[in-house]
Structure 1
Amino acid sequence: MTTVTGFGSTQTGAAPAPIRRVREVPVFRSRYGTLFNDDVVAPSGATGQYLRWQARKEGAVVVPVGPAGYAFVASYRYPIQATSVEFPRGSSEGGEGLAAAAARELREETGLVCASLRPLGVIHADTGILAAPVQAYVAEVDGAAGGPAEPEAMESLSEPVWVTPGELPQWLAEGRITCGITLAALALLQARCPAPADIRTVGRS
């Protein structure tokens, strides 16, 4: 068995051969992005089609951290026909950067305002079909500050749900948080700053 530890400057094992795109085939477009069903050739020589969704803008997810712990939003998600407990997320608008988009999505979905915002890393939410990355951020917020949320017309959200660091493992064990982007952002947060107070050091040398 070959163990692969990474494909950066330190690499063990060989990288898998790529699946080669022969022809780019757009099948649907909207203001959010384009769905492709490309003609491809696998390393085995087999030919076929591969679906991929290319979002028009890269996404951002923000982990709000305050004295009460972590702030989540309960959002009704149409594809799964159920409520999902998530961190605020979305994509940039116009010429705004991803950090600005993260701060705006936080304010729109929760009413909370960033006191500081720092990057955590990059997430690929579903590498089997989604092409665009999602940048994760951690935001230091004051739960008593801010105002009412201002969700988009097609969004259905609750008020922020605060979960303490001590409560979080139980929430995860009970399956109360299943959003892949939220779980990945939590993993990045725990790797970079295991305790909420540590967010002040993220991104600093």
Structure 2
Amino acid sequence: MADTDHPDAIRTVREVLAYRNRFVDVYDDEVSFPSGTDGRYLRIRHRDEGLGVVILPVHAGTVGLVRTYRYPLGRPQWGLPRGFSHSTDPLVTARTELREELGIADAEFLLLGTMTPDSGLLAADVAVVHASVPSTTAALPLAPDEVTDTRWLPLPTLWHWIATGALDDGMTLAALALAQAHALLPAPGRPPDTPTAPDH
């Protein structure tokens, strides 16, 4: 719900739907800025009733990552599994996405909280879900057109990837920070002597 009484509020003059598909509505609204200047503001709203999710899968000191070709970036990118809502219950969505992207059918889920992945453009909250995975044996993604590779990284290697820019997905970085705030991941230590480089 917009706080239109806030002194810094950008107020909607006219809501303008520019595009719609089964996932999102794209608006190019006419707005009034706090200074009184009129302008336009682009925003994207998810059409699903529930929250999208990003999942932090953890198994025996490792974190599960997926490699996905990100069309807007024009390159592959490593990150945590994530996806649009499948249910009004984010844990149901997390279970579905974990199975589709990492091939994991069994895990213990914990909702850590929510985040706003791009509040300058997206009118959406995303749930962050921790998944304790008992086994990764024979785990294969069910969405090969979306997920091109998977990897379970030891935590020192994970922190090294982040420090060197090899892992730069914003939703992944935010989810890891939230997990650390909940004391579910140890703080980064000394990087490994021979860190594993990602395959791009």
Alignment TM class, shorter chain as reference: 0.7 to 0.9
Matched, 1:53 2:44: yes
Which residue in 2 is equivalent to 1:17?
Answer: 8
1:40 to 18, 24, 31: 31
Greater CA drift, 142-151 or 167-176? 142-151
Cα 1:129–1:144 change in 2 (3 A) is: closer
Aligned equivalents of 1:52 and 1:125: distance in 2?
13
- The count of aligned residue pairs is 179
Pairwise CA RMSD: 1.8
Q: How does 1:110-189 map to 2 (within 5 A)?
A: 110-145=102-137, 147-151=139-143, 155-189=145-179
Aligned equivalents of 2:70 and 2:155: distance in 1?
25
TM-score by length of structure 2 reads 0.83
**8 Å Cα contact 2:59-2:135 kept in structure 1:** yes
1:67 to 38, 60, 69: 60
Matched, 1:27 2:18: yes
Cα 1:169–1:53 change in 2 (3 A) is: same
SS at match of 1:39: strand
Q: What runs of 5+ residues in structure 2 fail to find an aligned partner?
A: 1-5, 187-200
Measure how far apart 1:115 and its partner are: 2.4
Matched, 1:78 2:74: no
TM-score by length of structure 1 reads 0.81
Counterpart code for 2:96: R
1:138-189 Cα offsets, whole Å, 9 max, x none, are 000034346431117xx33134211112222211111011111111101101
SS at match of 1:109: helix
Question: Alignment identity in percent?
Answer: 37
Which residue in 1 is equivalent to 2:195?
Answer: none
Aligned equivalents of 1:126 and 1:171: distance in 2?
22
Cα 1:41–1:101 change in 2 (3 A) is: same
Aligned equivalents of 1:31 and 1:115: distance in 2?
29
